[in-house]
């Protein structure tokens, strides 16, 4: 999603919305679901190649992981949202009750950034003409947050649940149709291929080189599967 950092249509360039919780939750959800469940499935397959056992473990891992991911994201975003809202309320009351002190505070910030006393005074005074604009600016300058970018805990949790489920389901699919070493290899190939796709998509989203990002995702997934497979084989 692209957002403007100023009002009006006269923009030199446009920026991606990097503060929203849903995009982050989707990327991490798919990646975590893929890596964790692929490692679980390959590890169980190393211990016992019986298809029923692997499917049971994979489904359990998918459900448990998806709920855990969703709950974690909900609690995290909710806590962050409540903290930001509390700080914004403190700042709002301060602007209402101590406007001169808040004006001086903003003026000092702009002077510290290189503006002259006169320039800082003009800019800070203009901002404080509108209390809502003043609140937004103080939030950005003092708290480092954008009041309009606070994530929604519910949507973030749902996004995490669905994304994790998708990632976790991919290496599990072959086990519904077969078992043994061949199915293990197919499951691993699907996991590695999906990791590469996730890495490529992430690279496109962040506008970074696709190959290093995809390779990083593949290495993480492969390493996790290799460790659990050898442990599973040793236990089995």
pLDDT digit string, tens, across residues 132-146? 888 888 888 877 777
Q: Is the predicted pLDDT of residue 175 greater than 90, yes or no?
A: yes
- What's the pLDDT at 24? 64
What is the average per-residue pLDDT within 28-57? 88
Residue that wins the pLDDT comparison between 26 and 102? 102
Residue 147 counted as domain residue: no
| Proportion of the chain above pLDDT 90, given as a percent | 29
Residue 204 counted as domain residue: yes
Total tally of structural domains belonging to the chain: 1
- What's the pLDDT at 8? 43
At residue 3 the predicted structure's pLDDT band, cuts being 50, 70 and 90, is very low
DSSP characters over the chain: -EE-SSSSS--S--EE--S-HHHHHHHHHHHHHHHHHHHHHHHHHHH---HHHHHHHHHHHHHHHHHHHHHHHHHHHHHHHHHHHHHHHHHHHHHHH-HHHHHHHHHHHHHHTT--HHHHHHHHHHHTTSHHHHHHHHIIIII---GGGPPPHHHHHHHHHHHHHHHHHTTTGGGGT--HHHHHHHHHHHHHHHHHHHHHHHHHHHT--HHHHHHHHHHHHHHHHHHHHHHHHHH-
Question: Could you tell me the residue range of the domain that residue 200 belongs to?
Answer: 2-98+152-235
Residue 123 counted as domain residue: no
């Amino acid at each position: 999603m692209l957002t403007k950092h100023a009002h009006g249509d006269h923009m030199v360039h446009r920026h991606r919305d990097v503060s929203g919780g849903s995009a982050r939750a989707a990327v991490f959800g798919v990646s975590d679901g893929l890596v964790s469940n692929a490692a679980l499935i390959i590890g169980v397959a190393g211990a016992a190649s019986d298809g029923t056992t692997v499917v049971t473990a994979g489904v359990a891992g998918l459900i448990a992981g998806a709920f855990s991911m969703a709950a974690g994201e909900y609690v995290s975003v909710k806590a962050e949202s409540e903290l930001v809202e509390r700080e914004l309320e403190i700042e709002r009351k301060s602007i209402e009750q101590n406007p001169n002190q808040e004006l001086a505070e903003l003026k000092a910030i702009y002077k510290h950034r290189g503006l002259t006393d006169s320039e800082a005074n003009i800019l800070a005074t203009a901002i404080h003409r509108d209390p809502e604009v003043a609140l937004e600016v103080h939030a950005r300058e003092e708290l480092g947050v954008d009041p309009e970018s606070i994530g929604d805990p519910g949507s973030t949790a749902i996004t995490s649940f669905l994304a994790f489920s998708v990632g976790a389901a991919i290496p599990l699919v072959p086990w519904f149709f077969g078992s043994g070493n061949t199915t293990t290899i197919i499951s691993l190939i699907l996991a590695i291929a999906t990791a590469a796709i996730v890495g490529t998509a992430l690279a496109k989203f962040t506008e970074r080189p696709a190959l290093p990002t995809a390779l990083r995702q593949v290495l993480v997934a492969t390493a996790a599967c290799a460790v659990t497979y050898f442990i599973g084989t040793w236990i089995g």
